[in-house]
Chains A and B, each alone.
Chain A
Amino acid sequence: MSKFEGTSSYIATDDLKTAVNAAITLERPLLVKGEPGTGKTVLAIEIAKALGKPLIQWHIKSTTKAQQGLYEYDAVSRLRDSQLGDPRVGDISNYIVRGKLWEAFEADEAPVLLIDEIDKADIEFPNDLLLELDRMEFHVYETRQTVKARQRPVVVITSNNEKDLPDAFLRRCFFHYIRFPDRETMERIVEVHFPRLKRDVLNEALTSFFDLREVPGLKKKPSTSEMLDWLKLLLAEDIPAEALRSKDGQKTIPPLYGALLKNEQDIHLFERLVFLSKRER
């Protein structure tokens, strides 16, 4: 199987590459955690792109049940059809609605299956998928049929740490924690997204971005994706590097900082700090 080396639009660090390739080779689900906005979901999309495989996305909500990923038995329409005398009523398989996992198992080519934000679901959700992800098969009770994966899909699972996942589930996964990128990696990431960004603008922008992350007591530190949004705005407004540069070491409020700070208290805190540092001079 081909190796994952990152793509033209996604910078993968060495540890991330090791993790992805190990998960593919070992045929284990890859569990990805990390700060919000560090590209967990995008990773699955990029893996699919790099390996040339179709991508099946299953986004989890608080109401999602494990069963919905396998199949659902639409009893209500069957009842309705029975009252209308529809001939399809005799065959129960007409009312079995396939879920994402079934779709992935039945695909002609092994797809990449993304189970996004697994921690949003009920606490028992991962446990209900143990066997299915382990053996890549499940039983359809209504039709007494067993669905088995033709090829094992590459499974990527993301989590935001809102709930602890059960040990039995964790044991079956390969784990990777996406760290917040350092400056060097960040520069490469920005270059991939904005190839025509001027060098000096990039430098100044990164400096003020990392400074902002260093501000003590922020409720939510700005993330990679917010950084990229901010740069997009800077480009659209065509803001020169001088506007970002801090004069004689003073802190300044970066323009369009609304893209980076999403919390009223954070903005107040930051403005106060800037004010204080100016007064000291």
Chain B
Amino acid sequence: MFIRFFLALKDARLPVSITEYLTLMEAMKAGLAGTEIDSFYHLARGCLVKDERNFDKFDRVFGTYFQGMENLFEAVEGEIPEEWLKALKDRVLSEEEKAAIEALGGWDQLMETLRKRLEEQKERHEGGSKWIGTAGTSPFGAYGYHPEGVRIGQVKGRNRRAVKVWDRREFRNYDDKVELGTRTIKIALRRLRRWAREGAATELDLAGTIAATARNAGSLDLKLVPERHNKVKVLLCLDVGGSMDDHIRVCDELFSAARSEFKHLEHYYFHNCPYERLWRDNVRRQDAVDSWNVLRLYPSDYKLIFVGDAAMSPYEIVEPGGSVEHWNKEAGGVWIQRFVDQFPNAVWLNPTPEPHWRYSSSTELIQGLMKGRMFPLTLAGLDSAMKILR
């Protein structure tokens, strides 16, 4: 029963196991599913999916399997994030159009016009993939689907009452995509924690006490040990300004998450590429610190995390004097190399999506300098970065 459904879930890369499948069978046998498909849906989801991030995938498979009307991948197609639409309306629509829309009546109308626009664009792109604007130049491709997306492809002929729970796809928000919150970053950073005993002896060392007492021929000899502290030291270097402006929010969150996770956290800012000067406060750039000082000040057991989009002119990395801001005697690549030599535990986190990296030669150069240790600033990327740092 439902073996094909189970296999379909597996094909969609949901982590389902045979134990869970058997649990579902057991539940069916106990008559828990009732007669309605809704309660079967809830039951199957509770048995098979243990993480709300996978609910959306499950909903799609469930919809395909039990409805047979939507192809698995077409369900994903044609969704454009609403927030993004709001932000883009200024760019896509001309002033006259905006005025015309205001006259016609507000946001709904605006959305409708936008929808038409986007449909036109979709047709133009329909050569290979069905995704809107996978051509690379189109800004649509960057997001794919997104929390609170609007379903542009399916506006007409949708009977409201007939919309099934799984068809509403309310768990889209929890799919593990680019969206990173402070908390998720914290979970990832926690991988880095390494506990060590340091400081005043305050905790009772039970094993030590028993051993010491035994050696003392039975008279009690209490032993204390220091409390455990997180001992990981981190040097965080953040790229600011220029192309990084789009990623400021993510970096801000990374920073606030990192702050509370480590006892030793040093942070510096740079622009595009680290050169002979770094600064501590983004507002007061004149208080710059000599990079040599930074290299000498921190011992090599510090873990170095660069955060930057690595999008710059390749000359900034390979040629002296390539910096956009000042005359630099030595090329950026030399400095990156120095940092990597001093701190063997180093990674580069890149907030731009991974598939875009190969279009930027500076990203590839830095990737090479970092010996391939560049990771996207997503939960999965942070995870693999932290694994390398450990």
Contacts and interface: CB of A to CB of B under 8 A. Distances in A.
A106 B309 CA distance: 59
B1 interface: no
Contacts of A170: 50-51
A172 B83 CA distance: 39
Interface residues of A, number: 34
Interface stretch (B212-220, B271-279, B292-300, B312-320): B212-220
B15 interface: yes
Contacts of B17: 167, 171
B42 A76 contact: no
A165 B51 CA distance: 9
Interface string B165-209: 100001100000000000100110010000000000000101001
Contact of A173 (B39, B50, B170, B213): B50
Contact of B38 (A14, A167, A175): A14
Interface in B23-52: 23, 26-27, 30, 32, 38-39, 42-43, 45-47, 49-52
Interface string A5-29: 0000000001100110111011010
A14 B183 contact: no
Interface string A169-213: 011111111010000000000000000000000000000000000
B46 A18 contact: yes
Contacts of B43: 18, 22
A143 interface: no
A22 B209 contact: no
The size class of the interface chain B forms with chain A is 35 or more
B223 to A, nearest CB: 11
A33 B52 contact: yes
B55 interface: yes
B210 interface: yes
Contacts of B49: 175
A163 B190 CA distance: 9
B11 to A, nearest CB: 19
Interface stretch (A79-87, A93-101, A223-231): A79-87
A70 interface: no
Given A79-B213, A83-B220, A19 B42 contact: yes
A22 B47 contact: yes
A75 B50 contact: no
Nearest to B15: A167
Nearest to A182: B170
B330 interface: no
A91 interface: no
Given A75-B210, A83-B220, A25 B27 contact: yes
A22 B46 contact: yes
B121 to A, nearest CB: 26
Interface string A132-167: 000000000000000000000000000001111101
Interface in A57-88: 75-76, 79-80, 82-83
Contact of A171 (B19, B83, B170, B209): B19
Q: Which of A21, A28, A167, A175 has the most CB of B within 10 A?
A: A175
Contact of A26 (B15, B27, B83, B218): B27
Q: Which of A31, A82, A174 has the most CB of B within 10 A?
A: A174
A216 interface: yes
Q: Which of B38, B47, B204, B219 has the most CB of A within 10 A?
A: B47
Nearest to B210: A75
Contact of B32 (A18, A162, A179): A18
A194 to B, nearest CB: 28
3 tightest Cβ-Cβ pairs between the two chains A and B: A170-B50, A15-B42, A18-B42
Given A22-B43, A75-B209, A171-B19, 15 more contacts: A18-B32, A22-B32, A25-B27, A26-B27, A26-B32, A76-B206, A76-B209, A83-B218, A161-B187, A167-B17, A170-B50, A171-B17, A174-B46, A175-B46, A175-B50
11 contacts: A18-B39, A28-B23, A75-B210, A76-B209, A167-B17, A170-B50, A170-B51, A171-B19, A175-B46, A175-B51, A177-B55
